[in-house]
Amino acid sequence: MNTQDIIRLSNITPLEHQMHDSGIVHVVSCSGGKDSTASILRSRELGIQARYVFADVGNEHQLTYEYLDYLEDRLCITIERIKPDFSEWMAKRRAWVREVGPRRGYTPAMVERIVSHLKPTGIPFLDLCLIKGFFPSTKRKFCTQFLKQVPINTLVTEPLLEADREVWSWQGVRREESAARATASHFEASRDGWEGFFIYRPIVEWTTDEVFAMHRRHAVKPNPLYSLGMTRVGCMPCVNTRKEELYQIQKQFPEVIDRIAKWERLVMLCSKKGVTTFFHARTIPNRGGGDTRSHIRNAAKWSKTDRYGQYDMLKAMEAPAECASQYGLCE
């Protein structure tokens, strides 16, 4: 039997055959979501010795942290938690506000307000927003870059490349997820021009059903957040959270709304204008209220309305569902 026969009979692609080269280090990104879990399981099926990394932004739900512990126990793996520390950057920002701020239109009161509140909290997502003075949005999506890409590159990828290792970064991206991902390739060289760095998307052609089938095949439970109505796992909430998902969050996890309201107050104190909201200012259709109309508490109330903005009594009275999952996980 030749190599091609072995590959065909063992249901692995030529690319998956090549990945066993001992010079390659496989780095699998784990978010605690279904797609990255399927990627972990695929690496296990292929017998790959990988490094599993999780970028801890400090805005994930507690159930996700517990789920990562569960995966470690269930699969006998270690998931490295990468947590960026922005205290140095924050100190530079304080110095900038003091020294350069007055020349850029910051009044003495603004300087005093910002400098006295710009203190590290140890929560990466919040600290980054305090430094910026606003929250990320679709247009200003700095969160993924500074909270995930840069820390993983700095602490994992770059040291490996400097040690002359070839790195395959596994990403649980699927084409059916969105138009932006519809053309994602299975395997490609780094777009940053890094020699020896490749992006590998093991489940790029998979459907949602195949992803959950992978969980069942390995007797691994999906993150329980799916059964509670969440369609994606990552930040809770993500700045791109849709209205229906926000409705589920405010209903099932009101403490998340309280936490974000607190974060909004802190970030406002560190912003030049003294105004900012977690969701984009125009998240709620314009019915007055200025820059703060999309404040998290207003957004949570808006999530209970119908598309004409009317309070949806039936929706608000719904009993918490046993399984609100849009994936029918309890079928």
Name which of 136 and 202 has its Cβ closer to ligand SF4: 136
- Decide: is 77 part of the binding site for ligand SF4 (CB under 6 A): no
Strand pairing partners for 27?
51, 169
Distance (Å, whole) CA 285 – CA 307? 10
Nearer to ligand SF4, 114 or 129 (CB): 129
Q: Does 238 bind ligand SF4 (CB under 6 A)?
A: yes
DSSP letters along 267-312, please? HHHTSSSS---SS-TTSS--SS-GGGTT-HHHHHHHTTB-TTS-B-
Name which position in 136, 151, 202, 229 contacts ligand SF4 (CB under 6 A): 136
Residue type, 148: K
What is the closest distance, in whole angstroms, from the C-beta atom of residue 234 to ligand SF4 in the complex? 3
Asked if 269 and 117 touch (Cβ cutoff 8 Å), the reply is yes
Binding status of residue 231 toward ligand SF4 by CB under 6 A: no
Q: CA 248 to CA 253: how far, in whole Å?
A: 8
Could you say whether residue 173 binds ligand SF4 (CB under 6 A)?
A: no
Residue 235 touches ligand SF4, criterion: CB under 6 A: yes
Minimum CB separation of residue 170 from ligand SF4 in Å reads: 18
Applying CB under 6 A, which part among 107-115, 234-242, 260-268, 309-317 lies near ligand SF4?
A: 234-242
Question: Least distance (Å) from ligand SF4 to the CB of residue 280?
Answer: 12
Choice from 13, 121, 149, 240 touching ligand SF4 (CB under 6 A): 240
Q: How far is the CB of 263 from ligand SF4 (least distance, A)?
A: 12
Does residue 230 bind ligand SF4 (CB under 6 A)?
no
Of 19-27, 67-75, 139-147, 154-162: span binding ligand SF4 (CB under 6 A)? 139-147
One-letter amino acid at 181 equals R
With CB under 6 A, what is the number of residues at the site for ligand SF4?
11
Q: Is 57 in the site for ligand SF4 (CB under 6 A)?
A: yes
State how far the Cα of 82 lies from the Cα of 16, in Å rounded to an integer.
Answer: 27
Angle at 57 (CA atoms; ends 53, 60), nearest 5 degrees: 95
Provide the 8-state DSSP code for 235.
Answer: B
Measure the CA–CA gap between 47 and 22, rounded to whole angstroms. Answer: 12
The 8-class DSSP code of residue 236 comes to S
**Whole-angstrom distance, CA of residue 212 vs CA of residue 94:** 47
Is residue 149 a contact residue for ligand SF4 (CB under 6 A)?
Answer: no
Min separation Cβ 288 and ligand SF4, Å = 27
Please, what is the minimum distance in Å from the beta carbon of residue 233 to ligand SF4?
9
